[in-house]
Amino acid sequence: MPVDRPGTVPLRVTDEVAEALRTGAPVVALESNVITHGLDYPENAATARKVEAAVRAGGAVPATIGVDAGRVLVGMTDADIDRFASGAGIPKVSSRDLAVVLASGGPGATTVASSLVLAHLAGIPFLASAGMGGVHRGAQRTMDISADLIQLTRSPVALVCAGAKTILDLGLTLEYLETQCVPVISYGSDDFPAFYCVSSGLPSPHRLDDEAAVARAVHTHWALGNPGSVLVATPIDPADAVDKDEVDAATEQAMAAAERAGITGNALTRHLMRAVDRSTGGRAARANTAVLAGTAELAGRVAVAYARLRQDARDRGGSA
């Protein structure tokens, strides 16, 4: 059964995750926001288990991250997943909210930003997500920039995802990552992917085509003394993708409607995602589910390659 691990911030680590971390086996962290703020119950619970199964298919141990009763959940049991999936009003917790939610003892579902913080705290070097946040369209006026981008500069946890959400300004998002010295690697693609679109239409700074090369790049980034993340972006399977022009048109219409209605801040992302899903007849939501599994499996494979690299370094008597 899960046990508490003593420390400044209480961690409740499942036996499977604790054993993997103890032995140096590959582990991939997963955000819990997908459970609470995605599909309805019981589809959300089934999707969470499907994502965990994808990590296992890649060869690694999944560790879904959450917050509850003043503790960080590092790995969720089936009961935890069902409780989060069926519970009402569990808030989305970003990195800025963690201290307050932990201190107050309430439950919380983690985003990319908070999952990066907590994965590092637990000693997990990889996080998988469908897509990260970024610079919002119109940010020149609103200063609306996702905390995900800030946290990528601070937490030494590699993020494997399908790029940034298509509703964002992807050009400015890449500019921000360049300015903050966050390496961006597209796996098997010359272009930077765009969540449920195969390509953003923008070239990726780097392309690598095998997990071992990605693992070496991640290891070397931290060996050089860099403090933050490496972004590994993998495109959605074209069979599951949504046409970029269709998404862009729906997003522009939804942005105009949001401006007329005064929708801003955290509510804007939800408004835009739902508008795109309605416009595509639900294909965007189905693509989102496909992306979750695809990125999780790749993260598992890269985590395996990274664990092997570290073990080889230890066997040679060098630094791991």
Which tens digits make up the pLDDT trace of 169-201? 999 999 999 999 999 999 999 999 998 889 999
Region 56-82: mean pLDDT is 97
Catalytic residue list contains 31 = yes
Instruction: Identify the pLDDT of residue 140.
Output: 85
Q: Is residue 120 within 8 Å of residue 158, measured between CB atoms? A: no
Do β-strands 158-161 and 231-233 pair in parallel, antiparallel, or remain unpaired? parallel
HSE of 38, CA atoms in CB hemisphere, 13 A? 26
Whether the predicted pLDDT of 57 surpasses 90: yes
Q: Is residue 71 within 8 Å of residue 11, measured between CB atoms? A: yes
Whether the predicted pLDDT of 288 surpasses 90: no
Taken in order of first residue, the domains within the chain and their CATH numbers are 3-315 (3.40.1790.10)
Q: Catalytic one among 52, 165, 211, 297?
A: 165
Task: Look at residue 125 and give its three-state secondary structure.
Answer: coil
Structure tokens at 255: 């942005």
Q: Residue 5's pLDDT band (boundaries 50, 70, 90)?
A: low
Instruction: Identify the pLDDT of residue 1.
Output: 59
Region 259-270: mean pLDDT is 76
Instruction: Identify the pLDDT of residue 266.
Output: 66
Query: Pick from 295, 289, 291, 269: which is nearest to 167 by CA?
Result: 269
Catalytic residue list contains 50 = no
Q: Catalytic one among 31, 52, 211, 297?
A: 31
Average pLDDT, the chain: 91
